[in-house]
Structure 1
Amino acid sequence: MKETHKIQPWYGFSEDQVFGEVMANSDFCRYVLRTVTGITEISEIFSPEKQKEIKDPSHKTQKDVRLDVSVEDHEHNLYDLEMQVKDKKDLGRRIRYYISKYDQRYTLNKGKTYRDMKNITIIFFCMFDPFKQGKIRYSFHWTEDSDQTIKLSAGIDIIIINAKGKPNGESNDLLGLVDLINDRPVHLNKYFDWAQKKIKELNDDPKWRDRLWTTRQDF
């Protein structure tokens, strides 16, 4: 009888747990933040936290959230990085809820004024185009409807990376990130070399794959 071998699935950067493991590296995470936001002044960050749960024990009926990767830079700006594979048609409301939970827990301590609230940047990496415009990068800020030079300083920036978008003048770094999300080889710099090596190591580790499978079964 011919022996058959089951082909093991490949878990790439877009897989939730892989995304968290790779982004937990401070150097790579800082590189991604600088690439996506365009803020080159992000020189240092505190250690990224993966799969961070925000619960509210006093309101047990409220939905809890689990942040894929939460980061704070040394200027105390906050960043939430999320990988979204499926289009559930709720991206805007999902972002609204994440921001509300972030604010509830992290942005303002007692005795402080609203001016002391920490800035929040929400970044979603999507395996689909939520707006059907073909752009790779969408960014949103609070502006007045009829005159976008008038801005409401809310301290919130929202960036959505569409991994299925078409290149149109984006930086090589951002295009490399899109290739990584799509499991295409990237030969650009040491950051992508490290990330691809890390992803391969995770896939080659049977214990890690078993833990991943157990975790996936829980949801």
Structure 2
Amino acid sequence: MARIKEWEELTICDNFLFQKVMQNKRLCKRLIQKLLRIKVKNIIYPVAEKSIAIGATSKAVRLDLYVETDDGTIIDIEIQTTDDIDGWLPKRTRYYQAMIDLDVLGTGRDYIELKKSYIIFICTFDPFDLGEKVYTFSNCCHELNDLELGDETTKIFLNAKGTKGNVDKDIESFLAYVDGKAAEGKFTQDIAAEVERVKQHNETRVEYMTLMMELKQQRREGYAEGEASGKDSERLNSIRNLMDSLHWTAQQAMDALKIPAAEQGKYAAQL
């Protein structure tokens, strides 16, 4: 069962803390520059945690860190701690890409104005089990490997467990830090220092504790209502709230709500 962490237990791998740390524009810009090996003059945060829903009845996607560079490039960075057992992670990047593009077009632009975008997953596990520290994907021609489609979309998976490949030394140190090792090098030490600074910020601590109390209440209510009345809609709402607020998978949310395994399939089909 997924457990809600106490404030003192949070690390850079937890969505809430990662978002707060990356609100430090200087560190966020440095991370982007080192990951993509580009120069960035400035970054813009449209919102701290962007939520995109296309249409009133569509499923919303909540992005951990959504920024735009001065040249209009969109960058979405996600912390991912749940192992990709069923191969759903690549499909998730596809869904995120579609929602980001539709969000841009929703402002009245023509498709030719779609922006260059990067979707970056920082994983605490090896998403492809091949040992690479970084996996980068863009659309290329199968017959001519050097011919790129030119749709300006890129998906990058960082592997904190990786042992192969050459990456920027600071990124290598950052991945080791994500993997629970001591912070080494100025860049990673600066991130570690920001983690500690945020954790000493009382208002942020209260914000997290308030959110956790609400989630615990949802968990209790979801379990009680599900057991007492069997209302599918109540259980679905509780599952969605946990998925949205903690970035849990449907499986984690259903386990937390103690929904019997025999009943989980019908809820998963409706998410």
**Does the alignment reach a TM-score above 0.5?**
yes
168-177 or 147-156, larger mean C-alpha shift: 168-177
5+ long unaligned stretches in structure 1 = 1-6
5+ long unaligned stretches in structure 2 = 1-5, 216-241, 243-271
The alignment partner of 1:49 has SS state of coil
Query: Normalised by the size of structure 2, how large is the TM-score?
Result: 0.70
**How is 1:4-83 mapped onto 2 (pairs within 5 angstroms)?**
9-39=8-38, 41-47=39-45, 49-56=47-54, 58-60=55-57, 62-83=58-79
Alpha carbons of structure 1 residues 173 and 106: separation in structure 2 relative to 1, 3 Å: same
The alignment partner of 2:49 has SS state of strand
Alpha carbons of structure 1 residues 83 and 204: separation in structure 2 relative to 1, 3 Å: same
Question: 1:161 aligned to 2:158?
Answer: yes
Runs of 4+ aligned residues of structure 1 deviating over 6 Å after TM superposition are none
Alpha carbons of structure 1 residues 213 and 198: separation in structure 2 relative to 1, 3 Å: same
Q: Which amino acid letter does the alignment assign opposite residue 126 of structure 2?
A: D
**How is 1:79-90 mapped onto 2 (pairs within 5 angstroms)?**
79-88=75-84, 89=86, 90=88
User: In structure 2, which of residues 195, 207, 211 is the aligned counterpart of residue 211 of structure 1?
Assistant: 207
Q: Is the 8 A contact 2:170 2:188 kept in 1?
A: no
- The percent identity for this pair of structures is 24
Q: Deviations 1:125-168 (Å, cap 9, x if unpaired)? A: 01111110001100001001132112111110111101111154
Query: Normalised by the size of structure 1, how large is the TM-score?
Result: 0.85
User: In structure 1, which of residues 192, 197, 216 is the aligned counterpart of residue 193 of structure 2?
Assistant: 197
User: In structure 1, which of residues 176, 179, 183 is the aligned counterpart of residue 176 of structure 2?
Assistant: 179
- Provide the C-alpha distance between the structure 2 equivalents of 1:8 and 1:69, rounded to a whole number of angstroms: 20
Q: Is the 8 A contact 1:13 1:183 kept in 2?
A: no
Alpha carbons of structure 1 residues 213 and 166: separation in structure 2 relative to 1, 3 Å: farther
Tell me how far 1:176 sits from its aligned partner. Answer: 1.6
Q: Which amino acid letter does the alignment assign opposite residue 165 of structure 1?
A: G
The alignment partner of 1:33 has SS state of helix
Q: Which amino acid letter does the alignment assign opposite residue 133 of structure 2?
A: I
Question: 1:99 aligned to 2:123?
Answer: no
- Provide the C-alpha distance between the structure 2 equivalents of 1:129 and 1:48, rounded to a whole number of angstroms: 31
Q: Is the 8 A contact 2:11 2:195 kept in 1?
A: yes
Q: Which amino acid letter does the alignment assign opposite residue 79 of structure 1?
A: I
Tell me how far 1:179 sits from its aligned partner. Answer: 2.2
Alpha carbons of structure 1 residues 23 and 107: separation in structure 2 relative to 1, 3 Å: farther
